[in-house]
Chains A and B, each alone.
Chain A
């Protein structure tokens, strides 16, 4: 048993504690309260004057799949040999030894979603994992949390410009996306019919992936920066009656009402850094606040590989500076991404029964002078 004592606890659930204790057993939070009986606890972490948060969740990264300081040998996120690769699985290409994992967990990011890149219109299956472990199989929190897709400049650039092949236009991208969704619908009907008649059916892994989206088992996670691309995503969502999330949503603040009406969550970022592409020209830290005020569920992301996941609270802090409510900013890196990824039964808040993923801070995480002092993942102290 491990206990955290005398901490200011931001649970991201119903009740916060000025001076609270957390009891941890078998990797889970078993009790939260004031002046808990800690007599039988082997390890007590005294947190007098410190703050405790749920482990941060970065809902869109390329940690371990775009390995740092390596080059081509460790670049495994963009399979730009074909714009339609829904059968790929990020899981098969993540190296738990990547430096990015060490930096991220020491920065308090205890859960990360790892996704294929955005070269392809259909990129592959995304996975949610803990940032600590020897093998990816033991790190998995939820194996399939979405199918990555992309609109806008990246597919155009990586195929149209670099390889002189389709897609060359935004029209082409949307057309291919629709075409594949229709093919998968047909595939699904044929499959159902064959199963009904007890006949053998030729399995196709590409359409099996897309079918999961059409059956609303997982959302289509659509990379879209510009407002018009986001609107295209919403149009396709309606046409096929599927769940989607908007990844990046850089111009989301320009169409906040539309997003709110569509009840589509937006994962905003990476906002720190230069505007490397034309579709980023309206990038601002005001976006998360504006969207939240409009009623959109927002997560703040690093897109690690682009900007480091370890500074996730900093990106939330800069969003506060540009108008976002402080509590909402904390939610955007804890409970909101947990809900968006469908893993809030396990992580995202400090509640009894949830995984003991905790970050102990020397002060406010939005203060650049505060430090991460201790990180726990599944009740295990990762650093001290």
Chain B
């Protein structure tokens, strides 16, 4: 057993143990307690008042699938040949050697959601992985973790403006493609049910529809790229029509319709907020969005959208949201427990609690202090980064 003593432990649940013990064994957290008796035979590390947080979680990134420092060879997130590609799978396009993973660990990020971009109205399945490992298989935390979808300018730009004149040209058509694909999935489901009773009627396997069925059956949410308030409302409208789960990715104008989002019950993953407004639909970008959404009762995570904002700055993004009014403990939750809950992995990671996986970071200073460094990063009890 490994015991870290004399540590300030920020659990990720919102509370902090000023001086405590973190007990780790077989990759799991055995306990998180105030300073006290240490089990015999344990290896003890005295942290001399340093800070422990859960490993950070970036709930929306393109690490490994949009490789850093590489051109078209390493760009594997936007399949801009067809606006409806639900059968694509993020795991088939992720390079574990990508420099983005090292950046993630250096910033204390131990878990990420990564996946398709937003060129397509329906982009493919996303995956949640750890930021250390040799093969994608051993890194997986949850797969598939959701179906990427997109409304707003990106599909319009890629198909309607840049490419040959092809649908979607308008927001109407993006919504229509989404609905049409969900209706096809409903029809496919009915055929499967028929086929189960009468094997002669079993339809041919359709990988696109199989993936969409996972959304329709609420095995995973639609992870919907939406910046503008009207696009967010369109997403909520469609989700209600088909009774599916939704996460609102980016949610740049979420602060304008916070009560409506709260009422929908859908969570928001806000960002990338560091950097200029590069598109018209991001013109009203503000660090206040997480605060306003949180106050309205929305569950909020903060993302980098790496490589849009480099993933090592996830903590900095949370601290800037804090500066704009989000309470400190909520800012930490937005990159730990909330992110884990939104990704459906909170039973395993996201907070320092008995029984969860031992993903944690030792900091020399408060992680929201720009001077702070992630001295040691552990994933499942294994040291993966040592300064």
Does chain A bind chain B? yes
Binding site for B on A (CB under 8 A): 65, 70, 72-82, 85, 87-97, 116, 124, 134-137, 163, 200, 202-205
| B232-289 interface (Cβ within 8 A of A) | 233-234, 237, 256-257, 260, 279-281
Q: Which of B156-164, B328-336, B349-357 contacts A (4 or more CB under 8 A)?
A: B156-164
Contact: B169 with A78, CB < 8 Å? Answer: yes
Q: A95-B230, A135-B260, A200-B194 are in contact. Are A163 and B161 (CB under 8 A)?
A: no
Q: List 8 A-B contacts (CB under 8 A).
A: A65-B172, A73-B153, A73-B280, A85-B176, A87-B176, A92-B176, A95-B229, A136-B230
Query: What is the bound-complex CA distance between A205 and B230, given in angstroms?
Result: 22
| B165-203 interface (Cβ within 8 A of A) | 165-176, 179-180, 183, 186-187, 190-191, 193-194
Contact: B230 with A79, CB < 8 Å? Answer: no
Chain A's nearest CB lies how many Å from the CB of B111? 34
Indicate whether B228 reaches chain A with its CB closer than 8 angstroms.
Answer: yes
Chain B at the A interface: mostly helix, strand, loop or mixed?
A: helix
* Count of B interface residues, CB-CB < 8 Å: 39
B257 to chain A: which residues have CB within 8 Å? 134-135
Query: What is the bound-complex CA distance between A97 and B170, given in angstroms?
Result: 17
B187 to chain A: which residues have CB within 8 Å? 200, 202-203
Q: Chain B 214-232 against A: per-residue CB contact (8 Å), 1 yes, 0 no?
A: 0000000000000011100
B168 to chain A: which residues have CB within 8 Å? 79, 81
B280 to chain A: which residues have CB within 8 Å? 70, 73-74
Chain A, Cβ-Cβ closest to B171: A93
A96 to chain B: which residues have CB within 8 Å? 229-230
Among B193, B194, B234, B281, the residue within 8 A (CB) of A73 is B281
Contact: A135 with B279, CB < 8 Å? Answer: no
Contact: A92 with B234, CB < 8 Å? Answer: yes
What would 19 more interface pairs be, CB under 8 Å, given A80-B169, A124-B172? Answer: A73-B280, A77-B172, A79-B172, A80-B165, A81-B160, A88-B172, A88-B173, A89-B172, A89-B176, A92-B234, A93-B171, A93-B234, A97-B256, A116-B172, A136-B230, A137-B233, A200-B187, A200-B193, A204-B183
A137 to chain B: which residues have CB within 8 Å? 233, 237, 260
Chain A at the B interface: mostly helix, strand, loop or mixed?
A: loop
B170 to chain A: which residues have CB within 8 Å? 75-79, 88, 93
A135 to chain B: which residues have CB within 8 Å? 229-230, 233, 257, 260
A93 to chain B: which residues have CB within 8 Å? 170-172, 175, 230, 234
Query: What is the bound-complex CA distance between A73 and B231, given in angstroms?
Result: 13
A97 to chain B: which residues have CB within 8 Å? 229-230, 256
Contact: A72 with B160, CB < 8 Å? Answer: yes
Chain A's nearest CB lies how many Å from the CB of B226? 12
Q: A81-B167, A95-B228, A205-B183 are in contact. Are A72 and B161 (CB under 8 A)?
A: yes
Residue with the highest number of chain A CB atoms closer than 10 Å, among B168, B174, B233 = B233
B171 to chain A: which residues have CB within 8 Å? 76, 92-93
Chain B, Cβ-Cβ closest to A135: B233
Query: What is the bound-complex CA distance between A95 and B151, given in angstroms?
Result: 13
B234 to chain A: which residues have CB within 8 Å? 92-93
Query: What is the bound-complex CA distance between A136 and B237, given in angstroms?
Result: 11
Contact: A79 with B180, CB < 8 Å? Answer: no
Among A87, A94, A136, the residue within 8 A (CB) of B179 is A87
Query: What is the bound-complex CA distance between A191 and B162, given in angstroms?
Result: 39
Chain B, Cβ-Cβ closest to A134: B257
Query: What is the bound-complex CA distance between A20 and B190, given in angstroms?
Result: 62
Residue with the highest number of chain B CB atoms closer than 10 Å, among A80, A134, A135 = A135
Q: Chain B 130-161 against A: per-residue CB contact (8 Å), 1 yes, 0 no?
A: 00000000000000000000000100110111
Query: What is the bound-complex CA distance between A275 and B174, given in angstroms?
Result: 33
A136 to chain B: which residues have CB within 8 Å? 230, 233
Q: A70-B280, A135-B260 are in contact. Are A85 and B173 (CB under 8 A)?
A: yes
Contact: A73 with B156, CB < 8 Å? Answer: yes
Chain B, Cβ-Cβ closest to A92: B175
Contact: A72 with B260, CB < 8 Å? Answer: no
Contact: B190 with A79, CB < 8 Å? Answer: no
Query: What is the bound-complex CA distance between A72 and B173, given in angstroms?
Result: 14
Contact: A163 with B169, CB < 8 Å? Answer: no
Residue with the highest number of chain A CB atoms closer than 10 Å, among B156, B159, B171, B280 = B171
Chain A's nearest CB lies how many Å from the CB of B306? 25
A88 to chain B: which residues have CB within 8 Å? 170, 172-173, 175-176
Query: What is the bound-complex CA distance between A284 and B139, given in angstroms?
Result: 71
A73 to chain B: which residues have CB within 8 Å? 153, 156-157, 279-281
Q: Which 5 A-B pairs have the closest CB atoms?
A: A92-B175, A93-B171, A81-B167, A88-B172, A200-B190
Query: What is the bound-complex CA distance between A77 and B170, given in angstroms?
Result: 7
Query: What is the bound-complex CA distance between A65 and B190, given in angstroms?
Result: 36
Residue with the highest number of chain A CB atoms closer than 10 Å, among B161, B176, B230, B280 = B230
